[in-house]
Amino acid sequence: MLIIIPAYNEQEALGGLLGEIRSLSHEGTKLEAVVVDDGSVDRTTEIARAGGARVLRLCGNLGIGGAVQAGLRLACREGFDYAVQIDGDGQHPPAELSRLLEAAGRDDHPDLVVGTRYHDEKTFRSTVLRRLGSWWLRVILRVVGVRVTDPTSGFRLYGARALKLFDETYPYDFPEPESLAVARAAGLRIAEVPVKMRERQGGSSSIFGFSAFYYMFKVTLAIILTYGRARLRGSR
């Protein structure tokens, strides 16, 4: 299994995160971590190498979508069975990986497993704006047939079919909710499991102020377009 860590100027949180990953042990599953350095200007690459991770150093800042897709491409090319996406800011505890793996091994064999933070109110409190945005995205995604409680979660496990799909196409700006619509349109099975999430250990969110409204508008439009495209292909 390949653990993909997209990182942009995450020198504060990355060392600790890689240490936690190294201490993980999963019987029968070989874990390999790759840090996708999205054009950082700090010591992200050096810290990733020192932490024993493979490093994909992008020569420019592609944004979260481009960084994640680079990791997914690597996983697909090298024939990994699974890839897990973990944010480089330390929000996603690697110890929770086992929950995603358990879900992937269920009888219904989901192609994409999303870790949701909203099943555990005690350990994770998000802002009102974030909850409102999540609610709206849930509504929009439900229209296209995706039922998840945490559409913006970046803590995900990708199976072989999902890796193949996202090697070919992956949304670039704010990709999490849109990629769910893409996966659904391609007929992938999506599952959700509750996970614990932490406050970010370093760095700052890229979505604030006006960009939050731009985010909502853009993602809504993208989901509708994805749904429309899938319907059109279906009718043909």
C-beta of 69: minimal distance to other proteins in Å?
6
Indicate which single residue of 55, 83, 84, 97 sits in contact with other proteins (rule: CB under 8 A): 55
Does position 41 interact with other proteins (CB under 8 A)? The reply is no
- Total site size for other proteins, rule CB under 8 A: 17
For other proteins, which is the closer residue by CB, 60 or 234? 60
Handedness of CA 96, 102, 105, 111 (dihedral sign): negative
Q: Is 31 exposed, middle or buried, given 0-12, 13-18 or 19+ CB atoms closer than 10 A?
A: middle
Cα atoms found within 13 Å of the Cα of residue 209, Cβ hemisphere only:
2
C-alpha separations of 87 from 10, 34, 54, 121, 132 in Å = 10, 12, 16, 20, 22
> What is the closest distance, in whole angstroms, from the C-beta atom of residue 46 to other proteins in the complex?
13
Residues 61-100: x where in contact with other proteins by CB under 8 A, - otherwise, as a string: -x---x--xx--xx--x-----------------------
- β-bridge mates for residue 5, sequence order: 35
Site for other proteins in 137-156 (CB under 8 A): none
- 4 SS3 class: strand
Residues that bind other proteins in the complex, under the rule CB under 8 A:
34, 36, 54-60, 62, 66, 69-70, 73-74, 77, 172
